[in-house]
Amino acid sequence: MFDSKEFSVSIGTIVEELKLKKLYYTEEMDEIKVVCSNVNRPGLQLVGFFEYFDGDRIQVIGKAETAYMAELSSQERKERIDHLFGAGIPAVIVTRDMEPSSEMFHAAEKYGVPLLSTTDNTSRFMSELIRRLSVWLAPRITRHGVLVEVYGEGMLILGESGVGKSEAAIELLKRGHRLVADDAVEIKKVSNQSLVGESPAIIKHYIELRGIGIVNVKNIFGMGAVKDTEKIDLVVKLEQWKNGYEYDRMGMENEYTEILDIKVPQLTIPVRQGRNLAVILEVAAMNNRQKRMGYNAADELYQRLNESMGLE
């Protein structure tokens, strides 16, 4: 199991990525760490209810909270805002570009809490903030392999060194598909059903070809040949062809592998001279999409055979 609090993102990164306005902010606040992907609208806290309150969450104040505080006396407003800001929260963000009360500015300064604002409305901003935090704070591992997008399917190609992963990726690029990562793939668990892969920043858009060396895919094939991130829909394991080994020829049994506790469909494809690996991988991507949409060619053929023999 993975603890989300093993990972963090700085307030500085959040401010930069979401283009937030700094209302009360010091340079040291750039290094404040956010460790929780959930956010909170502190309506209950502003009426004094702090049971089950999670101080690790970013607090988002919208129109309703602002209107409620405007009805309070200055003393009541000060006490409740002080209680909220003094609870160890990482930041407060005001939506709709509304002007915070003077009590909020004083509490931000008193407790060293970043006070930020956005022009976006509350629901839309919270949705985007949670989406970003889910990616930034996702449990992650690094796998040796190649990640490509083929017909919209994220395909993670694994196999021993020298089996031809990068060569297959280059052929796919020539056929109009896109490279996400070569050699090292950083995989993040962004939800209980979804894995997203990307390249480490230092080797992004580069691919290694034995006999040639390092190639910059973006420069050679153009911007359309690369992608920064991609979900992982299928794992393809390449291995050298073994004479006498019985490989699956029907595809009746679905094979899966687990990555970060998520089951992902997996295929094992033997490699030998004369096989057009790029075409095989294209077909694998299209067939995987059909299976996800509820159609399985092997099941259909099996049903036809049964019907032809008069079997139910």
User: Is 149 within 8 Å of 230 (Cβ atoms)?
Assistant: yes
**What is the C-alpha separation between 223 and 167, in angstroms, rounded?**
19
**Main-chain dihedrals φ then ψ at residue 142, nearest 5 degrees:** -120, 130
User: Is 25 within 8 Å of 114 (Cβ atoms)?
Assistant: yes
Closest to 230 measured CA to CA, from 130, 126, 157: 157
Which residues does 225 contact at the CB level (< 8 Å), separation at least 6? 173, 177, 178, 179, 217, 218
63 belongs to the catalytic site: no
182 belongs to the catalytic site: no
* DSSP, res 226: B
Catalytic residue among 33, 110, 144, 275: 144
Catalytic residue among 77, 165, 177, 189: 165
205 belongs to the catalytic site: no
165 belongs to the catalytic site: yes
Provide the token pair at 215: 């190639």
Catalytic residue among 30, 56, 82, 183: 183
**Main-chain dihedrals φ then ψ at residue 260, nearest 5 degrees:** 55, 40
Scored b (16 or more CB within 10 A) or e, 74-97 reads eeebbebbbbbbebebbbbbbbee
* Active site residue ranges: 144, 165, 183, 249
